[in-house]
Amino acid sequence: MKIGLEYNNFKVKMGFNKKTIGFIILGLACLIWIITPMIGFLNLTDRQLAIYLPLLIVLGEIFFLIAIALLGKEYWIKVKTFIKIKWGVFREYFKERFNK
């Protein structure tokens, strides 16, 4: 999608490519995942919590998958590597701590 402005035959183009849109959607997914645990502390009824929490979780996942589809395979590999490294550190910490 190209958005352009023209002023005295001088064109200014602001390009929104797939990567930019992908990062925006990834930011929204992260924001949704940050907001989701905070919903429990709001003064909401049980029925509202039962609606909002699954809705936010599903929306976060959908936005994440759309962002990864737009960003491409190389970014997915970066995300997987980051998660594997963090999970390995977490797992080793608990192995050392509780398997004595």
Which pLDDT score is estimated for 83? 85
pLDDT digits (tens, 9 = 90+) for 8-55: 555 555 566 788 888 999 999 999 999 999 998 999 999 999 999 999
Which pLDDT score is estimated for 85? 85
Output the six-digit token pair for 55: 């809705």
**19 closest CA partner among 65, 82, 67, 77:** 67
- pLDDT interval class at 76 (50, 70, 90): confident
Predicted structure pTM score: 0.68
What mean pLDDT, rounded, does the chain reach?
83
CA 73, distance to chain mean position in Å, is 16
Containing 71, the helix (H) or strand (E) segment is: helix 46-71
- pLDDT interval class at 86 (50, 70, 90): confident
